[in-house]
Amino acid sequence: MTYSDLFSGHYVQFQGAVCSPSSDGAVIYSPASGSYYAVNEVAVSIWNHLASAATAAQVTDALVAEYDAPLDVLKGDVRATLEYLESVRLVERVNGGGPNAGS
């Protein structure tokens, strides 16, 4: 999946997923799989920006304001993280957007 493919919708946290901070990021529980996933600090930031539905571009823009990193690096981080979180059913892609898009 390319970064531009991520623009085809909004992403939102999977309903019922629970994030617990850890010393180097967080552990997120997926009710869909019954599994726990360890994620780093940047992934936690991405996760937090998906409490309300957001596009990859919106998440990237937010990370630009938070981290002193090149835009291409942040785009890559967002792409890889969204692909991973979606593959383990911690986030889902929804049409449209807005605060209740995932409901």
- Is there a contact between 59 and 71 (Cβ–Cβ < 8 Å)? no
Q: Residues in the chain with pLDDT < 70?
A: 1-8, 96-103
In a domain, 102, yes or no: no
Q: pTM for the complete prediction?
A: 0.83
In a domain, 74, yes or no: yes
- For residue 78, the enclosing domain spans 8-14+40-93
In a domain, 79, yes or no: yes
Looking at the 3D structure of the chain, how many domains does it have?
A: 1
The predicted structure's pLDDT at residue 99: 43
In a domain, 66, yes or no: yes
- Could you give the CA distance from residue 74 to residue 79 in angstroms, rounded to a whole number? 8
The predicted structure's pLDDT at residue 88: 93
- Is there a contact between 38 and 30 (Cβ–Cβ < 8 Å)? no
The strand ranges marked E within 1-103 are 10-13, 18-22, 25-30, 35-39, 91-94
